[in-house]
Amino acid sequence: MSEKTFQRNIIKRLAKCNTLCYKFASPAHAGVPDLICIHPGGVFFIEVKNPNGRGRLSKLQEVTIEKMRKHGATVYVVDSQEKLEEILDAEKIRPEP
């Protein structure tokens, strides 16, 4: 599965859990996470990496994510469906009935 397809699947999965999920593009600030996710309990960011195991954070992404975390942001790196499910548990996000 490509990273783009995986990202679309993440957005669809979160939508089923009452979570707004927006693709974030910031040309003036390279290295920011791919997705902004907003749910009734808060906001978090996701950097999506290819689930084939070859996706790696760039140095700029590492620095940007660390800077965001130091400022209180919750940022996850997701490279598998299992990791996404762990995040849903951590954020206490459940599918809508």
pLDDT in tens, 57-93: 999 999 999 999 999 999 999 999 999 999 999 988 8
Name the average pLDDT for the chain.
91
What are the sequence ranges of the domains in the chain?
3-90
Please report where in the chains the tokens 């084939």 appear, as a residue: 52
Whole-number Å distance between alpha carbons of 71 and 82: 27
Whole-number Å distance between alpha carbons of 69 and 16: 27
State the pTM of this model: 0.90
Q: Which residues pair with 35 in a beta bridge?
A: 23, 46
Assigned CATH class of 3-90: alpha beta
Whole-number Å distance between alpha carbons of 60 and 31: 5
Contacts of 56 (CB under 8 A, 6+ apart): 49
